[in-house]
């Protein structure tokens, strides 16, 4: 069996999506060891345009999976529906202390990972506001600097705030080294719910109306923003998370304007006839609402519209 013999910490990145490619490029820039495991290795050739005058070739790739140690970090920057198939072959290759970092839009990834991995496996959840978008089959563009929040799934033990590299666990140290700033969150679930609210509005509306992110901040979407935020707050409260709908809407408008020229991942998925993450975003809210007997008619309508749109384009 192949083993990872490197003494220095290494990021093992599953897939070759936009965020995974961005992490690999960031590791290369900071001389941190990384390996990418793209789905189609023979045709794999990937570059990241970090800036107007910096283009990074991602050359550290592998198709054979090694046995990982506690000095490795397995990064899973995939969509929720991709996690099971991608993570399953890694399960027997992990040391009991190898951290597994899930990084995706929406909810439900942790539950899938728990089904596949031993109960002792450390699972981390991360969310990022760094912008990355695929330009073509071989190029990803770094579209905007952001931040990252990370925490242990189901174990709120860490102090929130900036990273003290001498005290933080390995995945926190490495991610803060390659793509700062990283915040180690005491309650990562709350951060993920906040990100869910942003995605709940921006992703489906940009896909349905074929517009860039900035359009969602316009007055014509105000009523939808209001209603979606109120549906979200009601459902989140029953799950133990408390949000103010006005503050949430302000956050959503801020993100839409900050990432104005970008097209959301769901817009891109619909445009390129790929499966969307609607079930893990608005669909997740609908499922939680159904369990609690809550009416979330607008979220349910958006789920139906995105799925219908995908069928028409497909």
CA distance 304 to 314: 15
* pLDDT tens-digit readout, 225-256: 999 999 999 999 999 999 999 999 999 999 99
Specify if 132 maps to a domain. Answer: yes
Same domain, yes or no: 16 and 87: yes
- For residue 314, the model assigns a pLDDT of 59
Q: What is the arithmetic mean of pLDDT over 39-57?
A: 86
Structural domain including 76 reads: 10-185
Specify if 4 maps to a domain. Answer: no
Q: Using the predicted structure, report yes or no on whether residue 102 has a pLDDT greater than 90.
A: yes
Q: Using the predicted structure, report yes or no on whether residue 1 has a pLDDT greater than 50.
A: no
Same domain, yes or no: 42 and 146: yes
- For residue 39, the model assigns a pLDDT of 84
- For residue 154, the model assigns a pLDDT of 81
Label the pairing between strands 10-14 and 72-76: parallel
Same domain, yes or no: 66 and 215: no
Strand order, beta sheet including 54-58? 54-58, 46-51, 139-144, 131-136
Specify if 2 maps to a domain. Answer: no
CA distance 89 to 256: 37
Q: What is the arithmetic mean of pLDDT over 153-181?
A: 77
Specify if 3 maps to a domain. Answer: no
Cβ atoms 126, 175 nearer than 8 A: yes
- For residue 5, the model assigns a pLDDT of 44
Active-site pick, 79, 145, 195, 307: 195
Domain end call among 139, 164, 185: 185
Same domain, yes or no: 32 and 68: yes
Same domain, yes or no: 157 and 244: no
Same domain, yes or no: 178 and 197: no
Same domain, yes or no: 47 and 127: yes
pLDDT mean across residues, the chain: 92
> What would the two tokens of residue 127 be?
């969310």
- For residue 305, the model assigns a pLDDT of 98
> What would the two tokens of residue 288 be?
């939680």
Q: Using the predicted structure, report yes or no on whether residue 165 has a pLDDT greater than 70.
A: no
Same domain, yes or no: 28 and 150: yes
Cβ atoms 78, 14 nearer than 8 A: yes
Total number of domains in the chain: 2
Q: Using the predicted structure, report yes or no on whether residue 161 has a pLDDT greater than 70.
A: no
Question: What's 88's domain CATH number?
Answer: 3.40.50.720
Q: Using the predicted structure, report yes or no on whether residue 164 has a pLDDT greater than 70.
A: no
Question: What's 305's domain CATH number?
Answer: 1.10.1040.10
CA 24 to mean position of chain CA atoms = 15
Same domain, yes or no: 40 and 88: yes
Catalytic annotation present for 45 = no
């Amino acid at each position: 069996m192949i083993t990872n013999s490197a003494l220095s910490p290494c990021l093992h990145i599953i897939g070759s999506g936009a965020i995974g490619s961005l992490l690999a490029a960031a590791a290369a820039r900071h001389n941190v060891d990384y390996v990418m495991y793209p789905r189609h290795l023979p045709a794999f050739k990937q570059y990241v345009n970090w800036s107007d005058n910096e283009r990074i070739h991602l050359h550290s790739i592998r198709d054979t999976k090694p046995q990982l140690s506690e000095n490795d970090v397995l990064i899973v920057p995939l969509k929720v529906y991709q996690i099971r198939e991608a993570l399953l072959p890694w399960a027997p290759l992990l040391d009991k202390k190898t951290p597994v970092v899930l990084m995706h839009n929406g909810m439900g990834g942790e539950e899938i990972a728990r089904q596949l991995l031993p109960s002792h496996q450390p699972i981390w959840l991360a969310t990022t506001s760094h912008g990355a978008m695929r330009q073509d089959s071989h190029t990803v563009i770094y579209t905007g600097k952001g931040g990252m929040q990370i925490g242990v799934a189901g174990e709120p033990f860490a102090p929130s705030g900036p990273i003290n590299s001498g005290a933080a666990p390995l995945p926190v140290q490495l991610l803060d080294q390659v793509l700062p700033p990283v915040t180690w969150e005491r309650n990562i679930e709350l951060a993920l719910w906040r990100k869910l609210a942003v995605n709940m509005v921006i992703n489906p509306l940009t896909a349905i109306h074929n517009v860039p992110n900035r359009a969602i901040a316009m007055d014509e979407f105000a009523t939808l923003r209001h209603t979606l935020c109120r549906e979200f707050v009601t459902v989140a409260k029953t799950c133990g998370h408390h949000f103010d709908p006005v503050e949430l809407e302000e956050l959503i408008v801020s993100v839409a304007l900050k990432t104005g020229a970008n097209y959301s991942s769901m817009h891109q998925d619909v445009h390129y006839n790929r499966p969307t993450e609607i079930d893990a975003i608005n669909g997740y809210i609908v499922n939680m609402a159904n369990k609690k007997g809550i009416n979330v008619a607008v979220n349910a309508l958006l789920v139906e519209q995105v799925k219908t749109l995908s069928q028409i384009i497909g």
